[in-house]
Chains A and B, each alone.
Chain A
Amino acid sequence: MPQIQDLIVGTAPYREPLAGWSFGFDCDPGQIGAEVARVTHPATDFSFRRHEITAEAAHKGATEPISCWDGDVLRFVLDTWSRHVRMPDHFRHSPAALDHLVSDDIIPRILSHERIATLHMSAVRLGGAAVAFCGRSGQGKSTLAAAMMRAGHALLTDDCLTLTPLADGVIARGLSASLRVWPQTFEAMFAEDGIVSGEAGPPGKLRVDLDGDAAAEAGPLDAIYVLQPAQDSGDEIKSLRLSPAEACGHLVRNSFGIDLWSADWKAWLIGSCAEIAARVPVFTLSYPRRFDCLPKVIDHLETRHMDSLAGRAP
Protein backbone atom coordinates (compact mmCIF):
# COMPACT_ATOMS: atom_id res chain seq x y z
CA MET A 1 0.00 0.00 0.00
CA PRO A 2 1.45 3.42 -0.90
CA GLN A 3 2.35 5.48 2.13
CA ILE A 4 3.53 9.01 2.57
CA GLN A 5 5.90 9.97 5.38
CA ASP A 6 7.06 13.40 6.46
CA LEU A 7 10.85 13.35 6.41
CA ILE A 8 11.73 16.98 6.94
CA VAL A 9 10.34 19.13 9.67
CA GLY A 10 8.72 22.40 8.67
CA THR A 11 10.81 25.35 7.60
CA ALA A 12 10.09 27.43 10.68
CA PRO A 13 9.90 24.90 13.48
CA TYR A 14 10.56 27.34 16.28
CA ARG A 15 7.68 29.68 15.73
CA GLU A 16 4.96 27.39 16.93
CA PRO A 17 6.53 26.32 20.23
CA LEU A 18 7.57 29.90 20.94
CA ALA A 19 4.15 31.33 20.21
CA GLY A 20 2.64 32.84 23.33
CA TRP A 21 5.97 33.62 24.93
CA SER A 22 6.70 37.25 25.69
CA PHE A 23 9.93 39.05 26.41
CA GLY A 24 10.61 42.24 28.27
CA PHE A 25 13.24 44.33 29.93
CA ASP A 26 12.93 45.81 33.37
CA CYS A 27 13.08 49.57 32.87
CA ASP A 28 11.89 52.91 34.13
CA PRO A 29 8.44 54.08 32.96
CA GLY A 30 10.03 57.05 31.20
CA GLN A 31 12.08 54.73 29.04
CA ILE A 32 9.18 52.79 27.65
CA GLY A 33 9.48 52.59 23.90
CA ALA A 34 13.14 53.55 23.85
CA GLU A 35 14.78 50.85 21.84
CA VAL A 36 18.00 49.66 23.42
CA ALA A 37 18.58 46.58 21.38
CA ARG A 38 16.81 44.88 18.57
CA VAL A 39 17.61 41.46 17.31
CA THR A 40 15.64 39.68 14.69
CA HIS A 41 16.46 36.08 15.16
CA PRO A 42 16.60 34.26 11.83
CA ALA A 43 14.91 31.13 13.14
CA THR A 44 12.15 32.85 15.02
CA ASP A 45 11.60 36.35 13.72
CA PHE A 46 11.52 37.44 17.32
CA SER A 47 12.30 41.05 17.97
CA PHE A 48 13.42 42.31 21.33
CA ARG A 49 12.68 45.87 22.30
CA ARG A 50 12.50 47.78 25.49
CA HIS A 51 8.83 48.31 25.19
CA GLU A 52 7.23 47.12 28.33
CA ILE A 53 7.52 47.02 32.06
CA THR A 54 7.33 43.49 33.24
CA ALA A 55 5.23 42.73 36.25
CA GLU A 56 6.21 39.82 38.38
CA ALA A 57 4.09 36.89 37.34
CA ALA A 58 1.44 35.69 39.75
CA HIS A 59 2.39 32.14 40.46
CA LYS A 60 -0.63 29.98 41.03
CA GLY A 61 1.17 26.75 40.44
CA ALA A 62 4.08 25.10 42.13
CA THR A 63 6.59 26.17 39.52
CA GLU A 64 9.08 28.92 40.06
CA PRO A 65 10.70 31.10 37.44
CA ILE A 66 14.19 30.13 36.39
CA SER A 67 16.82 32.71 37.22
CA CYS A 68 19.98 32.45 35.18
CA TRP A 69 22.99 34.04 36.80
CA ASP A 70 26.38 34.84 35.30
CA GLY A 71 28.60 35.26 38.32
CA ASP A 72 26.63 37.66 40.52
CA VAL A 73 24.83 39.28 37.58
CA LEU A 74 21.25 38.23 36.89
CA ARG A 75 20.99 37.63 33.17
CA PHE A 76 17.38 36.67 32.71
CA VAL A 77 14.37 35.17 34.41
CA LEU A 78 12.44 32.57 32.47
CA ASP A 79 8.97 31.95 33.82
CA THR A 80 7.34 28.88 32.35
CA TRP A 81 4.03 29.46 34.10
CA SER A 82 3.36 32.90 32.62
CA ARG A 83 5.52 32.12 29.54
CA HIS A 84 7.51 35.26 30.01
CA VAL A 85 11.22 36.01 29.81
CA ARG A 86 12.38 39.00 31.79
CA MET A 87 15.77 40.59 31.43
CA PRO A 88 17.02 42.99 34.07
CA ASP A 89 17.86 46.43 32.86
CA HIS A 90 21.25 46.40 34.52
CA PHE A 91 22.43 43.70 32.14
CA ARG A 92 23.26 45.98 29.22
CA HIS A 93 23.03 44.05 26.01
CA SER A 94 24.82 44.92 22.84
CA PRO A 95 23.01 43.40 19.87
CA ALA A 96 25.67 40.70 19.61
CA ALA A 97 25.48 39.86 23.30
CA LEU A 98 21.71 39.82 23.19
CA ASP A 99 21.74 37.55 20.17
CA HIS A 100 24.09 35.22 22.01
CA LEU A 101 21.91 35.25 25.11
CA VAL A 102 18.74 34.60 23.15
CA SER A 103 20.23 31.96 20.84
CA ASP A 104 22.29 30.01 23.32
CA ASP A 105 20.55 30.41 26.64
CA ILE A 106 16.92 31.39 26.34
CA ILE A 107 15.42 29.83 23.22
CA PRO A 108 17.06 26.43 23.83
CA ARG A 109 15.46 26.31 27.26
CA ILE A 110 12.06 27.32 25.92
CA LEU A 111 12.26 24.70 23.18
CA SER A 112 13.19 22.10 25.74
CA HIS A 113 10.28 23.18 27.92
CA GLU A 114 8.05 22.76 24.86
CA ARG A 115 9.30 19.19 24.44
CA ILE A 116 11.68 19.70 21.54
CA ALA A 117 14.94 17.84 22.14
CA THR A 118 17.51 20.65 22.30
CA LEU A 119 21.12 19.80 22.90
CA HIS A 120 24.32 21.66 23.63
CA MET A 121 26.23 20.55 20.54
CA SER A 122 28.02 21.88 17.52
CA ALA A 123 27.28 20.27 14.16
CA VAL A 124 28.44 20.31 10.54
CA ARG A 125 27.32 18.68 7.34
CA LEU A 126 29.48 15.71 6.33
CA GLY A 127 28.52 14.23 2.99
CA GLY A 128 24.77 14.14 2.83
CA ALA A 129 24.24 14.02 6.57
CA ALA A 130 25.17 15.89 9.72
CA VAL A 131 27.59 15.00 12.49
CA ALA A 132 27.39 16.59 15.92
CA PHE A 133 29.96 17.19 18.65
CA CYS A 134 29.29 17.46 22.35
CA GLY A 135 31.42 17.52 25.45
CA ARG A 136 32.09 19.53 28.52
CA SER A 137 32.64 23.22 28.16
CA GLY A 138 36.09 23.98 26.76
CA GLN A 139 36.59 20.58 25.14
CA GLY A 140 36.66 22.04 21.63
CA LYS A 141 33.16 21.73 20.15
CA SER A 142 33.33 25.10 18.42
CA THR A 143 36.97 24.73 17.35
CA LEU A 144 36.31 21.35 15.75
CA ALA A 145 33.19 22.66 14.02
CA ALA A 146 35.20 25.66 12.77
CA ALA A 147 37.94 23.40 11.43
CA MET A 148 35.37 21.23 9.69
CA MET A 149 33.76 24.30 8.20
CA ARG A 150 37.13 25.54 6.92
CA ALA A 151 37.60 22.11 5.34
CA GLY A 152 34.41 22.60 3.34
CA HIS A 153 31.76 21.05 5.57
CA ALA A 154 28.85 23.45 6.04
CA LEU A 155 28.13 24.60 9.57
CA LEU A 156 24.78 23.80 11.18
CA THR A 157 25.54 25.32 14.56
CA ASP A 158 28.39 25.88 16.95
CA ASP A 159 26.34 25.60 20.11
CA CYS A 160 22.74 24.42 19.94
CA LEU A 161 21.10 21.64 17.96
CA THR A 162 17.54 20.37 17.95
CA LEU A 163 16.99 16.70 17.20
CA THR A 164 13.76 15.23 15.91
CA PRO A 165 13.46 11.43 15.95
CA LEU A 166 11.73 9.88 12.95
CA ALA A 167 10.90 6.28 12.20
CA ASP A 168 14.28 5.50 10.67
CA GLY A 169 16.59 8.24 11.88
CA VAL A 170 16.93 11.66 13.43
CA ILE A 171 16.68 15.10 11.83
CA ALA A 172 19.21 17.66 13.09
CA ARG A 173 18.66 21.38 12.89
CA GLY A 174 20.99 24.11 14.07
CA LEU A 175 19.38 26.88 16.04
CA SER A 176 21.64 29.58 14.65
CA ALA A 177 24.50 29.46 12.21
CA SER A 178 26.78 31.90 13.98
CA LEU A 179 30.26 30.76 14.88
CA ARG A 180 31.93 31.84 18.11
CA VAL A 181 35.47 30.76 18.89
CA TRP A 182 38.16 31.56 21.38
CA PRO A 183 40.63 34.28 20.28
CA GLN A 184 43.48 31.78 19.79
CA THR A 185 41.24 29.69 17.52
CA PHE A 186 40.32 32.75 15.52
CA GLU A 187 43.99 33.69 15.11
CA ALA A 188 44.91 30.17 14.00
CA MET A 189 42.07 29.59 11.56
CA PHE A 190 40.63 32.84 10.30
CA ALA A 191 42.84 35.88 10.85
CA GLU A 192 45.20 35.28 7.92
CA ASP A 193 42.34 35.23 5.44
CA GLY A 194 41.13 38.65 6.49
CA ILE A 195 37.96 37.30 8.07
CA VAL A 196 36.51 39.72 10.56
CA SER A 197 35.65 38.98 14.15
CA GLY A 198 33.29 40.77 16.47
CA GLU A 199 32.03 40.71 19.98
CA ALA A 200 30.17 37.51 20.76
CA GLY A 201 28.97 38.33 24.23
CA PRO A 202 30.09 36.44 27.28
CA PRO A 203 32.26 34.59 28.05
CA GLY A 204 35.02 36.13 25.90
CA LYS A 205 34.70 34.32 22.62
CA LEU A 206 34.84 36.13 19.28
CA ARG A 207 32.06 35.97 16.72
CA VAL A 208 33.40 35.01 13.31
CA ASP A 209 31.89 37.00 10.48
CA LEU A 210 30.79 34.29 8.10
CA ASP A 211 30.18 36.81 5.38
CA GLY A 212 26.62 35.79 4.81
CA ASP A 213 27.31 32.09 4.56
CA ALA A 214 24.00 30.38 4.99
CA ALA A 215 23.73 27.67 7.56
CA ALA A 216 23.34 24.14 6.37
CA GLU A 217 19.71 23.19 6.27
CA ALA A 218 18.18 20.61 8.51
CA GLY A 219 18.93 17.05 7.56
CA PRO A 220 19.53 13.54 8.82
CA LEU A 221 22.04 13.07 11.61
CA ASP A 222 24.74 10.48 10.89
CA ALA A 223 26.63 10.38 14.19
CA ILE A 224 27.28 12.13 17.48
CA TYR A 225 30.78 12.41 18.92
CA VAL A 226 31.45 13.00 22.61
CA LEU A 227 34.74 14.89 22.86
CA GLN A 228 37.00 13.36 25.47
CA PRO A 229 39.39 15.35 27.65
CA ALA A 230 42.70 15.95 25.90
CA GLN A 231 44.82 14.12 28.46
CA ASP A 232 43.04 10.86 27.62
CA SER A 233 44.11 10.83 24.02
CA GLY A 234 47.89 11.22 23.88
CA ASP A 235 48.81 11.68 20.23
CA GLU A 236 46.32 9.11 19.04
CA ILE A 237 43.04 9.89 17.32
CA LYS A 238 40.42 7.34 18.14
CA SER A 239 36.68 6.98 18.39
CA LEU A 240 34.80 4.21 20.16
CA ARG A 241 31.11 3.50 19.84
CA LEU A 242 29.14 3.83 23.05
CA SER A 243 26.41 1.42 24.09
CA PRO A 244 22.88 2.78 23.63
CA ALA A 245 22.46 3.26 27.39
CA GLU A 246 25.79 5.13 27.68
CA ALA A 247 24.84 7.21 24.65
CA CYS A 248 21.50 8.07 26.24
CA GLY A 249 23.29 9.24 29.37
CA HIS A 250 25.49 11.62 27.35
CA LEU A 251 22.44 13.00 25.54
CA VAL A 252 20.66 13.65 28.83
CA ARG A 253 23.76 15.38 30.22
CA ASN A 254 24.02 17.62 27.16
CA SER A 255 20.36 18.57 26.96
CA PHE A 256 19.10 22.02 27.71
CA GLY A 257 16.50 22.05 30.42
CA ILE A 258 14.59 24.23 32.78
CA ASP A 259 11.89 22.02 34.24
CA LEU A 260 14.25 20.19 36.50
CA TRP A 261 11.65 19.77 39.24
CA SER A 262 9.08 18.22 36.90
CA ALA A 263 8.78 14.44 36.83
CA ASP A 264 6.76 14.72 33.61
CA TRP A 265 9.50 16.71 31.94
CA LYS A 266 12.19 14.32 33.12
CA ALA A 267 10.17 11.39 31.80
CA TRP A 268 9.91 13.15 28.46
CA LEU A 269 13.64 13.95 28.45
CA ILE A 270 14.81 10.43 29.12
CA GLY A 271 12.32 9.04 26.61
CA SER A 272 13.40 11.51 23.97
CA CYS A 273 17.10 10.83 24.52
CA ALA A 274 16.45 7.09 24.47
CA GLU A 275 14.71 7.45 21.10
CA ILE A 276 17.64 9.39 19.69
CA ALA A 277 20.25 7.03 21.13
CA ALA A 278 18.44 4.08 19.57
CA ARG A 279 18.56 5.70 16.12
CA VAL A 280 21.94 7.43 15.89
CA PRO A 281 25.36 5.98 16.74
CA VAL A 282 27.22 7.87 19.45
CA PHE A 283 31.02 7.68 19.70
CA THR A 284 33.70 9.00 21.98
CA LEU A 285 36.34 11.06 20.15
CA SER A 286 39.84 11.47 21.56
CA TYR A 287 42.47 13.60 19.84
CA PRO A 288 45.36 15.92 20.66
CA ARG A 289 44.25 19.52 21.18
CA ARG A 290 46.71 21.04 18.73
CA PHE A 291 45.68 23.05 15.71
CA ASP A 292 48.12 21.12 13.51
CA CYS A 293 46.32 17.88 14.39
CA LEU A 294 42.88 19.07 13.31
CA PRO A 295 43.32 18.01 9.63
CA LYS A 296 44.01 14.47 10.86
CA VAL A 297 40.92 14.59 13.05
CA ILE A 298 38.86 15.70 10.07
CA ASP A 299 40.35 12.92 7.96
CA HIS A 300 39.46 10.45 10.72
CA LEU A 301 35.86 11.65 10.73
CA GLU A 302 35.59 11.65 6.94
CA THR A 303 37.01 8.11 6.78
CA ARG A 304 34.64 6.83 9.47
CA HIS A 305 31.78 8.48 7.65
CA MET A 306 32.73 6.76 4.39
CA ASP A 307 33.06 3.43 6.23
CA SER A 308 29.62 3.99 7.67
CA LEU A 309 28.18 4.63 4.22
CA ALA A 310 29.92 1.53 2.86
CA GLY A 311 28.47 -0.50 5.74
CA ARG A 312 24.99 0.59 4.77
CA ALA A 313 25.46 -0.23 1.10
CA PRO A 314 23.34 -3.12 -0.09
Chain B
Amino acid sequence: MTVGLDDDDRFRVPQNVLPRTVGEEMVILDLNSDRYFGLNRSGAFIWSLFADGSTVGAIISTVAAEFDVAQADVRSDLEALVSELRERGLIEPAG
Protein backbone atom coordinates (compact mmCIF):
# COMPACT_ATOMS: atom_id res chain seq x y z
CA MET B 1 0.00 0.00 0.00
CA THR B 2 1.34 3.41 -0.95
CA VAL B 3 1.85 5.73 2.02
CA GLY B 4 1.93 9.51 1.90
CA LEU B 5 5.26 11.23 2.51
CA ASP B 6 6.07 14.46 4.29
CA ASP B 7 8.63 16.81 2.77
CA ASP B 8 10.83 16.48 5.87
CA ASP B 9 10.92 12.67 5.78
CA ARG B 10 14.32 11.03 5.29
CA PHE B 11 15.23 7.42 4.68
CA ARG B 12 18.39 5.44 5.11
CA VAL B 13 19.78 2.13 3.93
CA PRO B 14 19.96 -0.60 6.62
CA GLN B 15 23.34 -2.20 7.29
CA ASN B 16 22.19 -5.54 5.88
CA VAL B 17 21.53 -3.99 2.48
CA LEU B 18 24.35 -3.78 -0.07
CA PRO B 19 23.80 -1.47 -3.06
CA ARG B 20 26.11 -1.53 -6.08
CA THR B 21 25.98 0.79 -9.07
CA VAL B 22 25.80 -0.90 -12.50
CA GLY B 23 26.14 1.69 -15.22
CA GLU B 24 23.32 4.10 -14.45
CA GLU B 25 21.30 1.39 -12.70
CA MET B 26 21.68 -0.31 -9.35
CA VAL B 27 21.72 -3.82 -7.96
CA ILE B 28 20.82 -4.28 -4.32
CA LEU B 29 21.54 -7.33 -2.17
CA ASP B 30 19.63 -7.96 1.04
CA LEU B 31 22.04 -10.00 3.13
CA ASN B 32 19.25 -11.14 5.45
CA SER B 33 17.12 -12.71 2.73
CA ASP B 34 19.88 -13.34 0.15
CA ARG B 35 17.69 -11.69 -2.44
CA TYR B 36 18.96 -9.41 -5.18
CA PHE B 37 16.98 -6.48 -6.55
CA GLY B 38 17.50 -4.18 -9.51
CA LEU B 39 16.72 -0.48 -9.81
CA ASN B 40 16.44 1.25 -13.16
CA ARG B 41 18.07 4.60 -13.90
CA SER B 42 15.49 6.81 -12.21
CA GLY B 43 15.20 4.41 -9.26
CA ALA B 44 18.96 4.40 -8.86
CA PHE B 45 19.04 8.19 -9.02
CA ILE B 46 16.46 8.43 -6.22
CA TRP B 47 18.33 5.78 -4.19
CA SER B 48 21.50 7.85 -4.35
CA LEU B 49 19.55 10.79 -2.92
CA PHE B 50 18.24 8.60 -0.07
CA ALA B 51 21.80 7.53 0.64
CA ASP B 52 22.94 11.16 0.72
CA GLY B 53 20.40 11.89 3.44
CA SER B 54 18.22 14.14 1.27
CA THR B 55 14.71 14.93 2.49
CA VAL B 56 11.66 13.89 0.47
CA GLY B 57 11.08 17.52 -0.48
CA ALA B 58 14.64 17.88 -1.78
CA ILE B 59 14.40 14.59 -3.66
CA ILE B 60 11.20 15.67 -5.39
CA SER B 61 12.75 18.94 -6.48
CA THR B 62 15.94 17.33 -7.70
CA VAL B 63 14.21 14.51 -9.60
CA ALA B 64 11.68 16.87 -11.20
CA ALA B 65 14.53 19.01 -12.48
CA GLU B 66 16.69 16.07 -13.60
CA PHE B 67 13.96 14.27 -15.53
CA ASP B 68 11.85 17.31 -16.47
CA VAL B 69 8.71 15.97 -14.77
CA ALA B 70 6.00 17.73 -12.75
CA GLN B 71 6.66 17.63 -9.00
CA ALA B 72 3.19 16.13 -8.35
CA ASP B 73 4.06 13.20 -10.63
CA VAL B 74 7.42 12.76 -8.92
CA ARG B 75 5.76 12.69 -5.49
CA SER B 76 3.32 10.02 -6.63
CA ASP B 77 6.10 7.87 -8.12
CA LEU B 78 8.29 8.41 -5.07
CA GLU B 79 5.55 7.33 -2.69
CA ALA B 80 5.07 4.14 -4.69
CA LEU B 81 8.81 3.45 -4.78
CA VAL B 82 9.27 4.10 -1.06
CA SER B 83 6.40 1.73 -0.29
CA GLU B 84 7.97 -1.04 -2.36
CA LEU B 85 11.43 -0.50 -0.91
CA ARG B 86 10.12 -0.45 2.65
CA GLU B 87 8.02 -3.59 2.08
CA ARG B 88 11.23 -5.34 1.04
CA GLY B 89 13.20 -3.92 3.94
CA LEU B 90 15.63 -2.10 1.66
CA ILE B 91 15.19 1.34 3.26
CA GLU B 92 13.98 2.52 6.66
CA PRO B 93 13.00 5.88 8.12
CA ALA B 94 15.98 7.89 9.32
CA GLY B 95 15.80 9.64 12.66
Could you list which residues of chain A lie within 8 angstroms of chain B, going by C-beta atoms?
243-249, 252, 260, 263, 266-267, 270-271, 273-274, 277-278
Q: Given the complex, which residues of A lie within 8 Å of B26, measured CB to CB?
A: 245
Among A244, A252, A266, contact of B25 (Cβ-Cβ < 8 Å): A244
What is the count of residue pairs linking A and B with beta-carbon distances less than 8 angstroms? 51
- CB contacts (< 8 Å) of B36 on chain A: these are 248-249, 252, 270
A252-B36, A263-B31 given; name 14 further pairs at CB < 8 Å. A243-B38, A243-B40, A244-B24, A245-B38, A245-B39, A247-B22, A252-B27, A266-B18, A266-B29, A266-B34, A270-B18, A273-B27, A274-B22, A277-B23
Interface: B2 (CB within 8 A): no
In the complex, B61 has a CB within 8 A of chain A: no
State whether B27 touches A245 (Cβ < 8 A): yes
B18 in contact with A267 (CB, 8 Å):
yes
- Nearest CB in chain A: distance from B45 CB, A: 13
Name A's interface SS: helix
- Which residues of B in the span 5-39 have a Cβ within 8 Å of any Cβ on A? 18, 20-27, 29, 31, 34, 36, 38-39
Given the complex of chains A and B, what is the CA–CA distance between A244 and B26 in angstroms?
Answer: 8
A249-B25 Cα distance, complex, nearest whole Å:
12
Interface size on B, residues (CB 8 A): 16
Q: A249 and B38: CB pair below 8 A? A: yes
Instruction: Tell me the complex Cα distance, A57–B29, Å.
Output: 32
- Evaluate contact between B18 and A278: CB separation under 8 angstroms: no
CB closest residue in chain B, given A246: B38
| Cβ of A309 to closest chain B Cβ, rounded Å | 21
Could you tell me if A245 and B25 are in contact, using CB atoms closer than 8 angstroms? yes
Query: Which single residue of chain B is at the shortest CB-CB distance from A243?
Result: B25
Residues in B whose Cβ lies below 8 Å from that of A249: 27, 36, 38
Q: Are B40 and A245 in contact (CB under 8 A)?
A: yes
User: Least Cβ distance of A280 to chain B in Å?
Assistant: 11
CB distance from B11 to the nearest CB of A (A): 20
A245 CA to B47 CA in the complex, in Å? Answer: 14
Q: Are A271 and B25 in contact (CB under 8 A)?
A: no
In the complex formed, the residue of A with least CB distance to B18 is A267
Tell me whether A274 and B27 are in contact (CB under 8 A).
yes
Q: Encode B28-59 as 1/0 by CB contact (under 8 A) with A.
A: 01010010101110000000000000000000
Contact sample, A vs B, 15 pairs, CB 8 Å cutoff = A245-B26, A245-B40, A247-B22, A248-B22, A252-B27, A252-B36, A266-B18, A267-B18, A270-B20, A270-B29, A270-B36, A271-B20, A273-B27, A274-B20, A278-B21
Please, which residues of chain B bring their CB within 8 A of the CB of A246? 38
In the assembled complex, the CB of B37 is this many whole angstroms from the nearest CB of chain A, namely 8
Nearest CB on A from B13, distance (A): 13
A278 to B36 Cα, complex, angstroms: 17
The residue in chain A whose Cβ has the minimal distance to the Cβ of B43 is A245
Q: Is the CB of A278 within 8 A of B31?
A: no
List of B residues within 8 angstroms of A271 by Cβ? 20
| B25 contact set on A, CB distance < 8 A | 243-245
